[in-house]
């Protein structure tokens, strides 16, 4: 068990234990407070209300009205009210224990003045004075129950009866002891639930810790989705985020390994040819001009490969330079198509171009990067088109997505459907083994440039043969910058 488990365990258990102790102590103190009340006095709200009503009746209606009220109360359910005069005699002759009588009279003497309006009920006892000067102490005994008319009444509970008075009263209620057994049971139950709750939180965290440790050691194949089970909380979301992170890291590391392998493979061939040319130059100095030309061509190939790798690396690292220029997309494509047509003449290929008549189609970005990216697409289409073939370049606004779409289609053999996404990976080689000059970095660079400008690039085979590459770029809402 980790430290987090014990922290959760002790904090939740302490909270539940404190709550249980507080509730138990509250009831115990409340019972102790009732224990301190005068014996033989009912402190319930109905009893207090009836005592107040009886006191008001005596004050305003006299003894006769009080007698009628108490006689009526004896016939109704509820706590009966006893009335004691100053000599301790009960109004209806109902017996009252001497200890209770003395205690009630003592409390009544402090509850209200000898004359004047009665004071509030104090601890269930009130003293009231009638208009003729008759004073009575009113209270309700807790165990006295009303009986049918004419039934003898009995006194409230008090101390054990004296052997001579023959008054059988129940013994006084003992105070409620401090509840150790319920509190102990509550502590054990809270202990169990605190342990379960702490385990519920700590288990996925231990799995996350083990997965992160494995990732730090290079084991990126671990997944937490199965270990999280059916959880639907933040810890399960964290586990799914870890799975996505691990999958992404694995993909990046695999791509890095493939990139290193492909770079070494691409550099090995020209280096081998360079070494061979240098060896032949030493053995056959008379062939110096031809061999130097070979060395120059291989050096240019290596320089071009390194330049493209450097451009790809800078794009992936986010070092693309400024991307806030206002670029006229039509002007950029006009110049690009003109250059492509010049190159296409050597292979008897044709470049068709279609663009809207609008004066300017503005986007925001980096003109140099966009020119290089779109040039890669057009040159790639020229390379894959057969001699005498046709390359189509089309620029059209796309109102639904607030931007412009550029389609470049060739008349070549196309790409297998399973490899349409792979052509944007570095060093891609077609599965059909078609040999084309280049290193397979052009479309990879194009994809990253388009993504930096907030666009997207797609590839699809044409129904009549050939490949169509579609580039979408969002337009500049404010229009091109002036000047």
Positions marked catalytic: 265
Q: Which of 83, 88, 87, 56 is nearest to 70 (CA)?
A: 83
Q: Quick check: 176 and 6 in contact, CB under 8 A?
A: no
Alpha helices in 167-233 (DSSP H): 180-216, 225-228
Distances (CA, A) of 185 to 13, 23, 193: 13, 14, 13
Half-sphere exposure in the Cβ direction for 242 (13 Å, CA): 28
Q: Quick check: 260 and 248 in contact, CB under 8 A?
A: no
How far apart are the C-alpha atoms of 298 and 293, rounded to whole Å?
Answer: 9
Q: Quick check: 406 and 393 in contact, CB under 8 A?
A: yes
How far apart are the C-alpha atoms of 255 and 214, rounded to whole Å?
Answer: 20
DSSP string, 307-353: HHHHHHHHHHTT------EEEEHHHHHHHHHHHHHHHHGGGT-EEEE
Find all residues with CB under 8 Å of 76, minimum gap 6, and list them: 146
How far apart are the C-alpha atoms of 406 and 248, rounded to whole Å?
Answer: 30
- How far is the first Cα of the chain from the last one, in angstroms, to the nearest whole number? 69
How far apart are the C-alpha atoms of 312 and 442, rounded to whole Å?
Answer: 9
């Amino acid at each position: 068990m980790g430290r987090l488990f014990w922290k959760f365990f002790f904090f939740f258990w302490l909270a539940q234990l404190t709550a249980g102790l507080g509730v138990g102590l509250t009831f115990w103190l409340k019972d102790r407070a009732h224990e301190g009340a005068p014996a033989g006095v009912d402190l319930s709200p109905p009893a207090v209300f009836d005592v107040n009503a009886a006191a008001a009746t005596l004050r305003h209606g006299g003894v006769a009205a009080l007698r009628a009220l108490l006689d009526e109360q004896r016939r109704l359910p509820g706590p009966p009210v006893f009335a004691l005069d100053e000599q301790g005699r009960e109004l209806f002759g109902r017996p009252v224990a001497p200890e209770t009588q003395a205690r009630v009279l003592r409390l009544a003497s402090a509850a209200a003045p000898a004359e004047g309006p009665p004071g509030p009920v104090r601890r269930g006892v009130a003293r009231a004075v009638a208009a003729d000067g008759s004073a009575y102490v009113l209270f309700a005994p807790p165990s006295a129950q009303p009986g049918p008319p004419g039934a003898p009444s009995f006194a409230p509970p008090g101390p054990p009866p004296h052997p001579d008075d023959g008054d059988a009263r129940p013994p006084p209620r003992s105070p409620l002891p401090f509840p150790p057994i319920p509190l102990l049971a509550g502590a054990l139950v809270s202990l169990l639930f605190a342990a379960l709750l702490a385990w519920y939180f700590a288990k996925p965290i231990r799995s996350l810790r083990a997965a992160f440790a494995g990732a730090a050691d290079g084991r990126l194949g671990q997944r937490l989705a199965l270990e999280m089970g059916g959880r639907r909380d933040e810890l399960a979301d964290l586990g799914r985020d870890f799975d996505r992170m691990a999958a992404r890291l694995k993909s990046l590391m695999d791509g890095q390994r493939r990139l290193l392998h492909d770079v070494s493979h691409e550099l090995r061939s020209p280096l081998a040819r360079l070494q061979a040319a240098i060896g032949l130059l030493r053995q056959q100095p008379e062939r110096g001009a031809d061999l130097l030309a070979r060395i120059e061509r291989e050096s240019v190939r290596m320089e071009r490969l390194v330049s493209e790798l450097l451009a790809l690396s800078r794009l992936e690292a986010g070092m693309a330079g400024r991307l806030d220029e206002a670029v006229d997309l039509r002007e950029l494509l006009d110049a690009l198509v003109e250059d492509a047509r010049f190159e296409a003449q050597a292979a008897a290929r044709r470049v068709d171009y279609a663009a809207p008549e609008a004066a300017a189609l503005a986007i925001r970005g980096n003109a140099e990067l966009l020119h290089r990216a779109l040039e890669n697409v057009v040159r790639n289409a020229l390379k894959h088109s057969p001699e005498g073939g046709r390359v189509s370049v089309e620029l059209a606004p796309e109102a639904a997505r607030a931007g412009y779409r550029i389609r470049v289609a060739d008349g070549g053999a196309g790409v297998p459907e399973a490899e349409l996404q792979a052509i944007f990976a570095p060093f891609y080689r077609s599965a059909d083994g078609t040999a084309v000059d280049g290193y397979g970095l052009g479309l990879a660079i194009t994809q990253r440039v388009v993504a930096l400008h907030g666009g997207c690039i797609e590839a699809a085979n044409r129904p009549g043969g050939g490949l169509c590459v579609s580039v979408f770029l969002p337009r500049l809402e404010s229009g091109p910058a002036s000047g």
